[in-house]
Chain A
Amino acid sequence: MTESSHHENIELLTYSEVIDVKGFVGNFDVTIRMRPRSVDMSRCTGCGDCLTKCPAKVPSEADQGLGTRRAIYKPFSNAVPNVPVIDRDHCIYFTKGKCQICQKVCKAGAINYEQEETIRTEKFGAIIVATGFSLFDISKYGEYGGGRYKDVITGLQLERMIDPNGPTGGRLVRPSDGKPAKSVVFVQCVGSRDEVKGMAYCSKVCCMYTAKQAILLKDHFPETQSYVFYIDIRATGKNYEEFILRAQREYGVVYLRGRVSKIHDPGDKLEVYGADTLAGESVKINADLVVLASAMVPNPDARDLARMLNIPYDSYGFYSEIHPKLQPVESITRGMFIAGACTFPKDIPDSVMMGSAAAAKVCTLFAADELTVEPKLAEVAVDKCVGCFNCVDVCPYDAIQKDTVSGRNVARVIQTLCQGCGNCASTCRSGALDVKGFTDKAIYAQISAPFEADEEEENAYAGA
């Protein structure tokens, strides 16, 4: 991140949002909303004085609600750029009109409450969409406490907890009373592989990160005992299976093959009820901490973004590639690439691979002087076009524009955008639009061929 922020060819736009994309490959007009940071980036030295003096405390998003942050904050300690932002919804000055402590303590004079949102539109040649994922909301699982039990946390919360710079300073504690946790139960597939309450798919990363966390717990806190409830262990990467075996054998993590049915909170320790189908026995464990491996799901705004960018998405909201095996990083819109977990749950190696592939695809695209396009494109017979522009409405790729030829309004196909779907050809009232190689005339000929009477055959029947 830091490296990319210093690179001469990379401009990092943080706290900004793409609000509109027009155009086509090589000519995307992207409108970006730059939200007001309230901190002058050119002046801020990143000293952090304001972060400690701000009196407004808010649950920290980065710490998954386990800790607090101030109203002026950096999303996380290593955030790039090293410049804080004022959360105007919680800032005392913005909500009540008084305070301004950050302005007083800032030696660089970087605080600027008057900053306003700016909108800029720029041209880009290609777009890579790598918007990532969100976590499944565990409140849908009432039998696991539905988020009401403080000691039932998600894997990401545990990750924050064992971070030395995290909300508990790297101590493994029960969030309810702050006592050290000795017995930890991990529950896999919370929201994954559940067609009734969650998602039918496997989230892919949980098996491995759970094993990693269980190993880390034993390493850092040798007195802890971890139990993992699983349906199947899916460890299909380089050295993954060995890693799971290490957790079981060297670190004594107890793997139980079954799904947890219920978590009960009688007051002191949580009671976890599950089963081990390998032993054919129901199991009860008294646990200090229960860690749920919640499913990876698409971002809540993934569909809106997809509609704006003209990227198709599946029933979950994950972005669709042209071909899952042969063109995994290309979206159906030319010049628009997709990478990472916005396409489907995947782990870090897969995301890195996909990101590199998308970048390489962009390089290939830019390196060529000319673009090759599929010959299967729509074509307007200008003399027949009556200028009704029904085609403009039906084109899913915005590939048809209004044009004027010798004073007449006619449709024009942008060849780089057209995918040859044929929607326009079937809609055109005057028969002016055809997909090359699939003209109405040719299709009619093909259809009528089998029905044309064969003379010889008919004679044969007549003779019989």
Chain B
Amino acid sequence: MLELDAEHVHNLSKRVKELSGDDVTHCIQCGKCSGGCTVAPDMEEIPSRIMRFIQLNMKERALTSSMVWTCSSCLTCTARCPEGIDIAKVMNVLRMMCLAEGYTPKEKHIHVFNRLFIDMIKKYGRVYELGLMVQNNMMAMTPFRDIGLLPAILKKRKIGLLPHKVKALGEVKELFKKGQTFYKRMKVEGWK
């Protein structure tokens, strides 16, 4: 049972607004985001319900939902929202909050993939596909998954054997530095 009290009822929506700039209290629960969501049909919670969790300060439910991690950031919801809420961005913020607050991500594999992807960007400034595939398979304990596809992919030159770096790697690093400070501040500041 959800117990609402006057002091805290707006906490989560305020926090999300601080972090994303989007006011989720504007959500009128029309469900247009959920109707167009590419992953919602396979989820327990739909995007509009996540927005409702934020409106009613249901932190636990919002941060531990698998929807938050499964969201593929296709931005269909953002493009269609009649209230102009950037829902995909809000989902992103929820992912950050989930990690900063020490919750276990509901979808571990997706979290691991995200982690590896980001690390790769940090290292090369772009994706090293083969490395990402191998590392992801290792982390997921399925080392030989999709291995049969490799010769064909290599033959068609879809991916390279060796990693490539972007020229302006310094600028990419700079971006990451900014992100880190934001994330650290998020952890330190805290909120109720």
A262 within 8 A of B: no
With CB as the reference atom, state the residue of chain A lying closest to B9.
A254
A82 in contact (CB, < 8 A): no
Contact between B25 and A276, CB atoms less than 8 A apart? no
Q: Using known A-B contacts A249-B23, A249-B26, A254-B56, determine if residue A282 contacts B2 with beta carbons closer than 8 Å.
A: yes
C-alpha spacing A225/B4, complex, angstroms: 11
Which chain A residue has the least Cβ–Cβ distance from B31?
A: A278
Q: Is the CB of B52 within 8 A of A278?
A: yes
Identify 17 new A-B residue pairs, CB closer than 8 A, beyond the known A285-B3, A285-B5.
A182-B6, A249-B23, A249-B25, A249-B26, A254-B9, A254-B55, A254-B56, A256-B56, A276-B52, A276-B56, A279-B52, A281-B2, A283-B1, A284-B2, A284-B4, A285-B4, A286-B3
Interface string of A243-254 (1 = CB under 8 A from B): 001001100101
B53 CB–A CB distance under 8 Å: yes
From the candidates A249, A257, A279, name the one contacting B2 in the complex (CB within 8 A): A279
CA distance A224 to B9 in the complex (A): 12
Does A183 touch B at the CB level, under 8 Å? yes
- Beta-carbon contact of A276 and B2 below 8 Å: yes
Considering only residues 1-26 of chain B, those with a C-beta below 8 Å from chain A are 1-6, 9-10, 23, 25-26
Check: A97 CB closer than 8 A to any chain B CB. Answer: no
Is B85 positioned at the interface, with any CB of A under 8 Å from its CB?
no
Number of A interface residues in the complex (CB < 8 A)? 22
Q: Which residues of A contact B122 (CB under 8 A)?
A: none
Q: Which A270-300 residues sit within 8 Å CB-CB of chain B?
A: 276, 278-286
Q: Does B29 contact A (CB under 8 A)?
A: yes
Measured between alpha carbons, how far is A283 from B55 in the docked complex, in Å? Answer: 14
Chain B residue nearest to A283 in the complex (CB): B2
Give the distance in Å from the alpha carbon of A424 to the alpha carbon of B177 in the complex: 95
Cβ of B77 under 8 Å from chain A: no
Which residues of chain B are within 8 angstroms of A286 by Cβ–Cβ distance?
3, 5
The answer on a CB contact under 8 Å between A278 and B5 is no
Chain B CB within 8 A of A389 CB: no
Most buried by A among B2, B10, B28, B61: B2
Known: A249-B23, A249-B26, A279-B58. A227 touches B4 (CB 8 A): yes
A256 cross-chain contacts in B, Cβ below 8 A: 56
Given known pairs A225-B9, A254-B9, the reply for A279 and B4 (CB within 8 Å) is no
Q: Which residues of A contact B49 (CB under 8 A)?
A: 278-280
Q: Mark B40-75, 1 if CB is under 8 A from A, else 0.
A: 000000001100110110100100000000000000
Task: For the complex formed, measure the closest distance between the CB of A423 and the CB atoms of chain B, giving whole angstroms.
Answer: 53
A281 and B58 CA atoms in complex are apart in Å by 10
Interface centre among A182, A227, A254 (most CB of B within 10 A): A254
Q: How far is the CA of A183 from the CA of B6 in the complex (A)?
A: 7
| B135 to A: closest C-beta gap in Å | 38
Q: Check B4 against A254 for contact (C-beta < 8 Å).
A: yes
Contact digits for A215-231, partner B, Cβ 8 Å, 1 yes 0 no: 00000000011010000
A276 CA / B58 CA spacing, docked (Å) = 12
Number of interface residues of B (CB under 8 A): 21
Name the A residues within 8 Å of B55 (CB-CB).
254
Q: With both chains docked as a complex, state the minimum distance between the C-beta of A273 and any C-beta of chain B, in angstroms.
A: 8
Least CB separation from A184: chain B residue: B6
**Residues A278 and B1 in contact in the complex (CB < 8 Å), given A249-B23, A254-B9, A254-B56:** no
Chosen A-B contacts, 8 in total, with CB atoms closer than 8 Å, are A252-B25, A256-B56, A278-B29, A278-B49, A278-B52, A281-B1, A281-B2, A285-B4
Asked whether B10 lies within 8 Å of A252 as measured between CB atoms, the reply is yes
In the bound complex, do residue B1 and residue A282 qualify as a contact, i.e. CB atoms below 8 Å apart?
A: yes
Q: Least Cβ distance of A363 to chain B in Å?
A: 44
Question: Smallest Cβ distance from A216 to chain B, in angstroms?
Answer: 17
Q: Which residue of A lies closest to B62 (CB)?
A: A279
Bound complex: CA A280 to CA B48 (Å): 12
Contacts of B58 in A (CB 8 A): 279, 281
- Closest Cβ of chain A to B17, distance in Å, is 11
Q: Which residues of A contact B28 (CB under 8 A)?
A: 245
Give Cα A249–Cα B26 distance, bound, in whole angstroms: 7
Taking a contact as CB atoms under 8 Å apart, the answer to whether B1 and A225 are in contact is no
Q: What is the bound-complex CA distance between A123 and B168, given in angstroms?
A: 97
Bound Cα distance A254, B53 (Å): 12
A183 to B5, CA, bound (A): 8
Q: Is B2 a contact of A225 with CB atoms below 8 Å?
A: no
Interface string of A171-187 (1 = CB under 8 A from B): 00000000000110000
A431 to B107, CA, bound (A): 89
- On chain A, the residues within 8 Å of B6 by CB distance are 182-183, 224-225
Which residue of B is nearest A224, CB measured? B6
Q: How far is the CA of A278 from the CA of B47 in the complex (A)?
A: 12
Chain B residue nearest to A248 (CB atoms) is B25
Residues in A neighbouring B3, C-beta threshold 8 A = 283-286
A248 vs B52: C-alpha distance when bound (angstroms): 13
The complex places the Cα of A183 from the Cα of B1 at a distance, in Å, of: 19
Chain B residues, CB < 8 A from A278:
29, 48-49, 52
* CB-based nearest B residue for A288: B6
List CB contacts (< 8 Å) of A383-419 with chain B: none
Chain A residues contacting B23 (CB-CB under 8 Å) are 249
Measured between beta carbons, the chain A residues less than 8 angstroms from B56 are: 254, 256, 276, 279, 281
- Docked complex Cα distance between A224 and B7 (Å): 10
- In angstroms, Cα B26 to Cα A282, docked, is 22
Interface-central residue, B49, B53, B56, by most chain A CB under 10 Å: B56
- Closest CB-CB distance, A207 to chain B, in whole Å? 14
The winner among B4, B23, B52, B55 for most chain A CB atoms within 10 A is B4
Chain A residues with CB under 8 A of B53 = 279
Which chain A residues lie closer than 8 Å to B26 at the CB level?
245, 249
| Nearest CB of chain A from residue B45's CB, rounded to whole Å | 9
User: Complex formed: what's the CA distance from A330 to B132 in Å?
Assistant: 79
**Complexed CA–CA distance, A224 and B5 (Å):** 11
- Min Cβ gap B100→A in Å is 23
For A182, the chain B residues whose CB sits under 8 A away are: 6
Closest chain A residue, CB of each to CB of B23: A249
